[in-house]
Chains A and B, each alone.
Chain A
Amino acid sequence: MTSPSDLSTGDSIAIGQIGVAIGRMTLKTFVGSCVAVVLHSSRHAAAGVAHVMLPASQGREAPPGKYADTAVPETLRLLREATGDPVLECSAKLVGGAKMFGFTQGIPIGDQNVAAVEKVLRELGIEVVGRSCGGQHGRRVTVDVETGIVTVQTAEQGTQTL
């Protein structure tokens, strides 16, 4: 369960946090190797964003937004709680998972994050309808809560709309 400190209190969502909003609002975050998981319900004009840092919690006690396996179900739960719809259905958009440094060996953490998020979304039956993942650059993510439109800005690669 998310504690108050694990929830974003404004429109900016910090690393490992989850933000949920309804109606004419925006949710924002910056991601590099982390993944911003955007869940959107067009029926309720509501969205939730999790700033996922690592693929698996492995039983660790930590903010649920930090890990893919806990962040996605918790975001869905918060979205259902906020809308009062216990069977709310939503779609997903994924942003991030870059390999900006590459100092460490093995599969880049960004790729691991994207794969882990996709796996959880598949298990929950949530369709991925947009993505801007990989590369070697960070991304500024702005979510229009009402429409679910996600604007992805980069420092040197322009802007993309999902």
Chain B
Amino acid sequence: MTSDELPGMAAAFRRGADEASAALAKWLGRPVTLAVQRLEAVPLTTAAAALGSGAEPVCGCAMGISGAIGGVLLLAAADQDALALADTLIERPPGTSTSWNEIERSALIETANIVGCSYLNVVCNMLVPERAEGILPSPPLFLRDFPAALMEAMLLELPSPAETVLLARTAFAVDATAVRCGLLFLPDAESLARLRDAADGPRSRP
């Protein structure tokens, strides 16, 4: 299923991205744009390759979500792209960051925190307002690993892994310069059904 088949949910995710853009722009003092490119429900076996299937490691900051909605949120990018993002965030000349030291990791973690919390607030307030207060995001965790291993471990963090996974692919730009990274939201099976029903009605469930 794609954005076209999940219009209510796609609208909530777009609003979430707008809110995250505003929060990050405020933090950085520069224009930031996050835009949901595609929202899709994909089979588990396909989801594991969503970040890529190669042997080049990717970097990611993951946040566990518990409470009324369960799942994992991940901001991920290829090494080079994530280091470029770190340079932008720390306001250093492009190419300054070449490895993942404390400051680069902190910059990415803080970004994931701001983006993730803004996103979650809006999506949950729109879709499950009666439960939104009970949603608890964990502090973001920095990881650098093979994309398939990262995705697979994320899927196993879900309290009840779904056969279908919701992927919200988000484009990211700072100062109108595109940053190649993705924001993935993976609710667990129960939460996915609840979000879908709230957004698009029970009949849209496969």
Q: Which residue of A lies closest to B58 (CB)?
A: A155
Q: How many residues of B contact A (CB 8 A)?
A: 31
Q: Which residue of A lies closest to B148 (CB)?
A: A30
8 more contacts with CB within 8 A, not counting A16-B45, A30-B147, A54-B156, are A30-B53, A30-B149, A32-B151, A101-B141, A101-B153, A103-B62, A138-B148, A138-B150
Binary per-residue interface labels of chain A (10-30) against chain B in the complex, 1 for a CB within 8 Å, 0 otherwise: 001011110000000000001
Interfacial residues of chain A within 135-153, with CB under 8 A of chain B in the complex = 137-140, 153
Most buried by B among A32, A109, A156: A32
A31 at the interface (CB under 8 A from B): yes
Interfacial residues of chain A within 8-62, with CB under 8 A of chain B in the complex = 12, 14-17, 30-34, 53-54, 62
B25 at the interface (CB under 8 A from A): no
Contact of B64 among A104, A138, A155, A156 (CB under 8 A): A104
Q: How many residues of A contact B (CB 8 A)?
A: 28
**Is A155 touching B152 in the complex (CB atoms < 8 A)?**
no
A17 contacts which chain B residues (CB < 8 A)? 45
B72 to chain A, nearest CB (A): 7
Contact of B146 among A14, A30, A62 (CB under 8 A): A30
A138 contacts which chain B residues (CB < 8 A)? 145-146, 148-150, 152-153
